[in-house]
Structure formats: structure tokens, C-alpha cells
Structure 1
């Protein structure tokens, strides 16, 4: 997409390689933008990008099952569940259901959780796991309940809706929750808002061991090819460490990339990392906090978008840049084997005439 397109007060431009990369992968990309209440669906025809959006209130985490047949989205007080249907499967009864698209994502239900401030989501062996930021715990999404408790950090003394440590990121391993990221090891209401930005950590769930600390506002831990990766958002960095070397001192961490944006949202595939970038936003309550965050003192302007990095040498492969109001990215995901997906809007009229059989 060579010319900036303005819709909903946002713009989107890409380098020439970005649409070529998606086309070569036969994939599409999902990006959650919580400040715009949108899921952006970005695909390619080889020369240009196609962009559609689905409106979902305060959207944060995105989770795909391993077979890519179930998609879950954390939107304010609900978890929305979508099913993937293809024309070949014959599971949609409307003749116009696909309209030139190669797959259809159909909203088939939701769980009302109340406002848990759910951040990361992940499908595992025992269902859908969520980071329940407001209650400082990892939980399971269960129909008929707001959540089912799974685990909390050992420094959290009680299960209360106080967002004490700002638990946010979740890494899965072998289908079970393995690592989490949080901003500060505090046990007071909104305690993470006080003091330095460098109080963050990544913790291993199995033994409650802190494996990396002294981090500036970490997000998006992921396990990939024997490494633990995570974003140190306040510095714009992506780090990794061999999992068998954990816990890691600062000298054990390997810097993969340092970028000009708040790194949050990470999808790893092969030798590539798709990384979400955001600008630093003012606190909603108007108060100043984390004034020592390195990104606040960068001489270059901060960018928002998605950058693709070569994990072998940290070089940039491709970049998608956002502008205007599209400046707060939470999660990035890839739909494999779907170069032109269609998402059915929950509130649209067309949903009344599409039937998943």
C-alpha cells in the first residue's frame, strides 16, 4: 500500500516487501488496536495490502487454536469466540458467504466475564487461558463463570479486583501456561503505578521462579525454538534467552532488536518476529508515572505499526507503519493458509443470513 489511506482518522503505509511477504506466506495478519476498539484484518494480493476492520470494544488479546479453527478475542467484558469455515468444507449455507474470500470467521458465541481487563489469551490443552490483569492471576475461560482461577504470583496475597502488579503477558509451552510478565512485584492496589518503570519481571509458573527482572514494562513472553523471547516495552527492545539457561542475569540476555516504539504484541514464525509498535500514551488519569522510561527520552520520534525482524541477525525484513489515531497496538497474530479471510461483524445485518452448519 503505497499511498496513505485515511479512514476512522488513521493511516497505514507499508514498504514494498510487506505485501509480498504476506503473499509468499499465504497468510493474513490480525492486529488489535484497543484505543480504536478494532481488530484490523490485513491481507495481500501481492502488490498491495487489503485492510478490513471488525469493531470490538477495548480489544486486547488474540488467541488462535493450533489448528487455526478457533479464534478468541478479549474485548472489554467479554471473550468472543469465532470459528473458521472454508468454502470447500461446505459448512456455510449462504451462497454469498465467501464473496471472493478463501475463509470465513463466524462469531459463534461469547463468555461474559465482567471487566477483568483481560490481556493475553492462549489456547491450551485444557481450553482457553487468559491473563486476568484485574485479579492478578492466570485463569481459564469457562462458560457460566467470569473465570476459573489457575495461578497467581506468590507475592499476591489475595484474589481481589485491584490490578496490583499489572500481570499482562502469557507464554505457553506444550499446551500449558509456562511464563508470565508483569510490571511490578507489588501487593497493593495499583501498586505497579508507583516508582520506577524498571520493576518488571518475567516469572516461570512451574516453580514461581523469576527468570528475568529489572525490566521496563515487559510484555508478550513467548517460547520459540528453545528460547524465551519477550518485549521490554519501555525500552523498545526484544530480548531472548535460551530456556535451559534460565533464570537469566542481564548479561545472559541476548538483544534481538531495539526499535523506535513501545514493543508489545509478538508473533514468532520460523526465523521471523512480527512485533507490534506503539507510541507512549499519557496515563488516562492524567498523572505522570514511569518518568524514567527510556522511550520518553529518545531523540527520534516514536512509531506505531508492525515490524518484521530476522531473528538470525536482528535486521529489518519489512515494516508496516500506522499513523493518526492508530497508535496503540496490543497484539499481533497470523492466519496461516488464508490469504483473503472474511470476518462477519457481530452487529451486522449479514449475520442473519449466514448459517454455520
Structure 2
């Protein structure tokens, strides 16, 4: 029986080369499958996909001044990850294969807010909170603090 990958990826021939030149990867979240999929160039012709399982992953944000920090909104939490390239070389399942290893450093317990988008701001992490129809800021004291709501929303 042939071993089939859980996700298939088709792409135009120039995508691996473009990602290689930009020195970047693409992160795609899919809450239906419960995956965060990172797509990276293996070389100028091939891509590597790395799916990781989370509970209902949705919004993803890259820190604007620290490319080694990302945040991921999940079902009832927002997880902040920090890259540790030094530890990546010792990853037990594939030593010396990866150039980065993002480890969780901070977790904000939010409950079920349906955070569909995230952004690092100057003073914290902001998100689109669809359950309460507002833009919110993550809080250390509360699940969130409302930052902005549309004028047609009368109450949160």
C-alpha cells in the first residue's frame, strides 16, 4: 500500500525559487483539519510541507521587528512561538534537517473567541474577535480587552 501524505500541494514552477530568494516560508492555517502547514523551499525546484496539529488554528501573525517570533490563534488560546535555530539542529526525529524550531514561549488563555486574524501591535497582540464582533487586544488580566467595534454593534 502506498503511503500518501496527509496534504498535497501543487504549485507553479517558480514558487520554490521565489521562496528561496526571499528566504521565507508560507504558513497556512486550516481549522477544519486542525493544522498549521508550513511550506518552505527545499531547493529552487522543490517544496517541503510541514503540517502541525493544533485545536482549530486560525489567525497567524509574524512579529514586525522580530522574524523569529510568531503567534497563532487556536480554539481557546493564542500561542506565541520563538524560533530557536540552535536547537533545531538537534531535533530528535531529523537532526540537522531544519534551520529553525519554533517553541511555545507564551500562551494566552482566551476561551472560545473565534479569533480569525492576529497582528502584533506596539503594545500587544490584537485580533479579530468574531464572537464579540470587535477588534480586541490580548490581556494579561482578562481574556481580552475590546479595542474597537463597528458602530452598528450596540453591545459586546
Structure 1 length normalisation: TM-score?
0.40
* Contact in 2 for aligned 1:131/1:137 (Cα 8 Å): yes
* Contact in 1 for aligned 2:14/2:45 (Cα 8 Å): no
CA-atom RMSD, angstroms? Answer: 1.8
Give the distance between the partners of 1:15 and 1:154, measured in 2 at CA: 43
Give ranges in structure 1 of 5+ residues lacking alignment.
160-357
Give the distance between the partners of 1:95 and 1:32, measured in 2 at CA: 25
Give the match for residue 60 of structure 1.
58
Is the strand fraction higher in 1 or 2? 1
Displacement of 1:86: 2.6
Give the distance between the partners of 1:65 and 1:48, measured in 2 at CA: 27
Deviations 1:222-253 (A, max 9, x none): xxxxxxxxxxxxxxxxxxxxxxxxxxxxxxxx
Give the distance between the partners of 2:4 and 2:32, measured in 1 at CA: 16
Give ranges in structure 2 of 5+ residues lacking alignment.
none
**Secondary structure of the structure 2 residue equivalent to 1:11:** coil
Deviations 1:53-80 (A, max 9, x none): 1111111110111121321101111101
Give the match for residue 72 of structure 2.
73
Report the number of matched residues.
149
Displacement of 1:46: 1.7
**Secondary structure of the structure 2 residue equivalent to 1:27:** coil
Structure 1 or 2, whichever has the larger Rg, is 1
**Secondary structure of the structure 2 residue equivalent to 1:59:** coil
Give the distance between the partners of 1:69 and 1:133, measured in 2 at CA: 28
1:108 alignment partner, one of 84, 105, 108: 105
* Contact in 2 for aligned 1:111/1:144 (Cα 8 Å): no
Structure 2 length normalisation: TM-score?
0.87
Residue 123 (structure 1) aligned with residue 120 (structure 2) = yes
Give the distance between the partners of 1:34 and 1:95, measured in 2 at CA: 30
Displacement of 1:95: 6.4
* Contact in 2 for aligned 1:129/1:139 (Cα 8 Å): yes
1:47 alignment partner, one of 45, 48, 66: 45
Mark the CA change 1:146 to 1:133 in structure 2 (over 3 Å): closer, same or farther.
Answer: same
Give the distance between the partners of 1:48 and 1:36, measured in 2 at CA: 24
1:96 alignment partner, one of 87, 90, 95: 90
